[in-house]
Amino acid sequence: MTPNATSSETDRYERGRRALAEIDGEAGEAVVASLADIAPDFARYLLEFPFGDIYSRPGLDLKSREIATIAALTAMGTAAPQLKVHIRAGLNVGLCRQEIVEIIMQMAVYAGFPAALNGLSVARETFAEAGV
Amino acid sequence: MTPNATSSETDRYERGRRALAEIDGEAGEAVVASLADIAPDFARYLLEFPFGDIYSRPGLDLKSREIATIAALTAMGTAAPQLKVHIRAGLNVGLCRQEIVEIIMQMAVYAGFPAALNGLSVARETFAEAGV
Amino acid sequence: MTPNATSSETDRYERGRRALAEIDGEAGEAVVASLADIAPDFARYLLEFPFGDIYSRPGLDLKSREIATIAALTAMGTAAPQLKVHIRAGLNVGLCRQEIVEIIMQMAVYAGFPAALNGLSVARETFAEAGV
Amino acid sequence: MTPNATSSETDRYERGRRALAEIDGEAGEAVVASLADIAPDFARYLLEFPFGDIYSRPGLDLKSREIATIAALTAMGTAAPQLKVHIRAGLNVGLCRQEIVEIIMQMAVYAGFPAALNGLSVARETFAEAGV
Amino acid sequence: MTPNATSSETDRYERGRRALAEIDGEAGEAVVASLADIAPDFARYLLEFPFGDIYSRPGLDLKSREIATIAALTAMGTAAPQLKVHIRAGLNVGLCRQEIVEIIMQMAVYAGFPAALNGLSVARETFAEAGV
Amino acid sequence: MTPNATSSETDRYERGRRALAEIDGEAGEAVVASLADIAPDFARYLLEFPFGDIYSRPGLDLKSREIATIAALTAMGTAAPQLKVHIRAGLNVGLCRQEIVEIIMQMAVYAGFPAALNGLSVARETFAEAGV
């Protein structure tokens, strides 16, 4: 196996910053900023791996990527703050309110009704803040 | 709140059967058949609620629904047999091999590398059986 | 397999409403009402499948069903609002305060001390509100 | 707070042995024996805390305790070997096959259909071995 | 297998009290006190098994034990109050702020970025209260 | 925030390869090789982020890092193959058999007895293969 990694670390970091800004907007930047005092390197990893590596990959459009993330975070039930950021992200990349509600409701089948109910609570709050 | 439920139970059951056949194909029918000896009513619920109710809803296409399910089952890490059925289902409704791999890899970000690695093992096995 | 479903959807919905009222009382009705603005169909599913189908089944009395639910929600640790509703439900269907405490303590064995401690916190708050 | 612990450690260990034998039978003794080579002290803790302390408490009958355990292990989805032992234990303390199936089916509501389906698979296998 | 348990229950309880005081300090004693009204026996079990048995064992130093606990609670993502107590405990037994941050960041690999981000939030709050 | 990333991607990849070889040995290289046919880029990410970034950081020695990983994987209960690799890794970086058993037993407190029992099963198998 040979690595197809020709870009420098700085390129990857900048690509991650752009992806974060496009996808998560201000909410994502607030997460990065909040890490400055406690774990600044972790802010860098967050930009580089999830955003610089994963979300920047071809092969799956951003709308599909946010469907996957909203579904997973709802099903896990341990990541309300991150679910909120990604419901905003879903709206940013073109999912409509009803599609997001459909994804969350569907999780009742796979992770149970409490997971879906708690996901809908996060969605209600996020939609209110986003004015949709 | 008034229920907008005008169809009979039998309609709902039949709608579920058709949805299961379209989405999960033989693998789904095998799950239903396997319940006959131990919990036949549960087979009925499985057809009625997940397939007759949820997957039959407008507002989110089947491809998007399978993205959500593959993501959630990979992230949860407790449902390898069901992940296998839904990787087949994803292929059935139009996801390609690479899109499924992308969804599973992305779960490393939200549920950790072991969840993604174990999801990729299930995918490898399922792709081999499906000949894709 | 033939479905033994002769009742109409409306019967099932009404059976679910009655079961919810009997088991969860006002707390359950508040959950249903809270869904009206964001996912009204999900309120219907909640009445139909968990309450119209599962809790209405013969073969296990309501007291035993609430023991199962309190145990599961405590062990999962991701469903504090639903645990609260079901501790109330347990009291409604005849469990006493001490039985509920026993169920939650036992979860230390299966899901760890933090799950049991967090379940006891929810119980303390719920008992105070219920005046038991 | 004063500890109401007047029995000696040996009493507690013996009480745990008797409770394990009554509840889990040979399957439980096999678990204890399997620990002899790797973690003998853990076998002692297993007898003392879960069985000597928790299952020996008044305030909740053994049938109710096994309902709680079967529900929790099904919902968690990470403990198939232990679920098997406790389905046997449920039969030992007076739960019938149908009651156990009802508990597991109900978990679809709280932990999703995959958790219930996987629990039913364990139950099918356990019932076959137990000849019920 | 013969139990090597020669100490009385009271010895074990007292050993647990001392271990709790040494490791968790006031935060641990607050947890024990909070159980007095709802489940006083559970306070006893908490002293006896985790502290009297496990943390009192030779074979692994307290610093290593707290690394294990902070890692597990961060990865599980369902035990924020207990993670807080054990970040304090980590500081009490000699872990420095940076080591704790390293443990939590590492959990991004095994349990995902949300688990690590939520763990870092708990750490930030705990460090502020502890003045480190 | 400015990224302190002066090394090239290739440096990071090579640092990850060396860390993987040192820590996980052949078992880790087998994981990487197994990804070649299905997700070669994921093999690269696995080397770069967990090993090139996290395990290569100063501030926490490798022995402490493996304590954290063994604890987390045992507690999560969804990652038996990865737990096996990291028990080997623990032995590689200087943990002895008894220390590993202590970490796993301790998880009974935080994640329940089934998680610890299943972790001990993985350890027994791994110790046998490693001849310790």
Residue F115: list chain C partners with CB under 8 A: 112
Per-residue pLDDT of B32-54, as tens digits, reads 999 999 999 999 999 999 999 99
Strand partners of residue B63: none
Per-residue pLDDT at F119 exceeds 80 = yes
Average pLDDT, chain B: 93
D123 interfacial to chain B (CB closer than 8 Å): yes
- What is the C-alpha to C-alpha distance for residues B16 and A127, in angstroms, rounded to an integer? 31
- Cross-chain Cβ contact F41/A1 below 8 Å: no
Residue D110: list chain A partners with CB under 8 A: 112-114
Do E75 and E111 form a contact (C-beta atoms < 8 A)? yes
Contacts of B80 (CB under 8 A, 6+ apart): B118, B122
Locus of tokens 């079961």 = C19
Residue E59: list chain F partners with CB under 8 A: 98-99, 101-102
- What is the C-alpha to C-alpha distance for residues B95 and D77, in angstroms, rounded to an integer? 28
Per-residue pLDDT at F85 exceeds 90 = yes
Q: Please name which of D50, D64, A74, C77 lies closest in space to residue E79, comparing C-alpha atoms.
A: C77
- What is the C-alpha to C-alpha distance for residues C95 and E50, in angstroms, rounded to an integer? 29
CB pairs under 8 A between A and C: 44
Locus of tokens 């890794």 = F89
Per-residue pLDDT of D107-129, as tens digits, reads 999 999 999 999 999 999 999 99
- What is the C-alpha to C-alpha distance for residues F26 and F120, in angstroms, rounded to an integer? 22
Q: What is the DSSP secondary-structure string of F48-71?
A: IIIIIIIIT-SSS-HHHHHHHHHH
- What is the C-alpha to C-alpha distance for residues D64 and D58, in angstroms, rounded to an integer? 12
- Rounded to the nearest angstrom, the minimum Cα separation between B5 and chain D is 21
Cα angle E72-A69-B107, degrees, rounded to a multiple of 5: 55
- Cross-chain Cβ contact D32/E1 below 8 Å: yes
Per-residue pLDDT at B5 exceeds 90 = no
> Given pLDDT bands bounded at 50, 70 and 90, which one contains residue F9?
confident
Per-residue pLDDT at F2 exceeds 60 = no
Residue B114: list chain E partners with CB under 8 A: 110
Q: Which residue of C has its CA nearest to D95?
A: C60
- Rounded to the nearest angstrom, the minimum Cα separation between D98 and chain F is 25
Contacts of E34 (CB under 8 A, 6+ apart): none
Q: What is the DSSP secondary-structure string of F89-100?
A: HHHHTT--HHHH
- pTM for this entry: 0.95
The percentage of residues in chain C with a pLDDT greater than 70, rounded to a whole number, is: 95
Task: Give the pLDDT confidence score for residue B98 in this predicted structure.
Answer: 98
Task: Give the pLDDT confidence score for residue D9 in this predicted structure.
Answer: 78
Per-residue pLDDT at A124 exceeds 50 = yes
> Given pLDDT bands bounded at 50, 70 and 90, which one contains residue B16?
very high
E62-76 and E9-23 helices, crossing angle to 10° = 80
Mean pLDDT of C28-41: 94
Mean pLDDT of A121-131: 97
Q: At C87, which helix (H) or strand (E)?
A: helix C80-92
Q: Please name which of A73, A74, A69, A66 lies closest in space to residue A119, comparing C-alpha atoms.
A: A74
Do E118 and E95 form a contact (C-beta atoms < 8 A)? no
A9-23 and A62-76 helices, crossing angle to 10° = 80
Residue B53: list chain A partners with CB under 8 A: none
Q: Please name which of C57, C52, C65 lies closest in space to residue C13, comparing C-alpha atoms.
A: C52
φ, ψ for residue B79 (rounded to 5)?
Answer: -140, 50
Cα angle D120-D123-D127, degrees, rounded to a multiple of 5: 140
Task: Give the pLDDT confidence score for residue B8 in this predicted structure.
Answer: 75
Residue B59: list chain A partners with CB under 8 A: 98-99, 101-102
Q: Which residue of F has its CA nearest to B132?
A: F38
Per-residue pLDDT of D52-95, as tens digits, reads 999 999 999 999 999 999 999 999 999 999 999 999 999 999 99
Locus of tokens 């703050």 = A81
Per-residue pLDDT at B80 exceeds 80 = yes
- Cross-chain Cβ contact C77/E73 below 8 Å: no
> CA quadruple F34, F5, F9, A10: dihedral positive or negative?
positive
Task: Give the pLDDT confidence score for residue C124 in this predicted structure.
Answer: 98
Please tell me the number of Cα atoms within 13 Å of E43 on its side-chain side.
19
- Rounded to the nearest angstrom, the minimum Cα separation between E5 and chain D is 6
Task: Give the pLDDT confidence score for residue A64 in this predicted structure.
Answer: 98
Per-residue pLDDT at C2 exceeds 60 = no
Per-residue pLDDT of D65-74, as tens digits, reads 999 999 999 9
Six-digit token string for B55: 């997957």
- What is the C-alpha to C-alpha distance for residues B98 and A102, in angstroms, rounded to an integer? 24
Do E74 and E83 form a contact (C-beta atoms < 8 A)? yes
Residue D79: list chain F partners with CB under 8 A: 77, 112, 114-115, 118
- Rounded to the nearest angstrom, the minimum Cα separation between F120 and chain D is 8
Per-residue pLDDT at B104 exceeds 90 = yes
Task: Give the pLDDT confidence score for residue D39 in this predicted structure.
Answer: 97
Contacts of C129 (CB under 8 A, 6+ apart): none
Per-residue pLDDT of B109-129, as tens digits, reads 999 999 999 999 999 999 999
Six-digit token string for B36: 């006959």
For E:48-107, CB contacts with A below 8 A are 76-78, 101, 104-105
Six-digit token string for B83: 């992940």
Task: Give the pLDDT confidence score for residue E7 in this predicted structure.
Answer: 58
Six-digit token string for B124: 């490898």
- What is the C-alpha to C-alpha distance for residues F68 and B57, in angstroms, rounded to an integer? 44
Residue type for position C4: N
Six-digit token string for A24: 């998560």
Q: Residue A81 gets which letter from DSSP?
A: H
CB pairs under 8 A between D and F: 45
Locus of tokens 């469990």 = C95
Out of C38, C45, C73, closest to residue A101 by CB: C38
Per-residue pLDDT at C9 exceeds 90 = no
Mean pLDDT of A102-114: 98
| Ramachandran category for residue B24: left, alpha or beta (phi over 0 → left; psi -120 to 50 → alpha) | alpha
> Given pLDDT bands bounded at 50, 70 and 90, which one contains residue F10?
confident
Task: Give the pLDDT confidence score for residue C7 in this predicted structure.
Answer: 58
Task: Give the pLDDT confidence score for residue A7 in this predicted structure.
Answer: 58
Q: What is the DSSP secondary-structure string of A43-65?
A: HHHHIIIIIIIITT-SSS-HHHH
Chain E interface disruption, residue of B106, B113, B118, most E CBs within 10 A: B113
Out of B75, B109, B115, closest to residue E113 by CB: B109
The percentage of residues in chain A with a pLDDT greater than 90, rounded to a whole number, is: 89
SS3 E77: coil
Do F10 and A5 form a contact (C-beta atoms < 8 A)? yes
| Ramachandran category for residue F39: left, alpha or beta (phi over 0 → left; psi -120 to 50 → alpha) | beta
Residue D128 class from Cβ within 10 Å (0-12 exposed, 13-18 middle, 19+ buried)? exposed
Per-residue pLDDT of E35-61, as tens digits, reads 999 999 999 999 999 999 999 999 999
φ, ψ for residue E8 (rounded to 5)?
Answer: -80, 165
**pLDDT under 70: residue ranges of chain E:** 1-7
Per-residue pLDDT of A50-81, as tens digits, reads 999 999 999 999 999 999 999 999 999 999 99
Locus of tokens 């950021």 = A85
Do E73 and F72 form a contact (C-beta atoms < 8 A)? no
Average pLDDT, chain E: 93
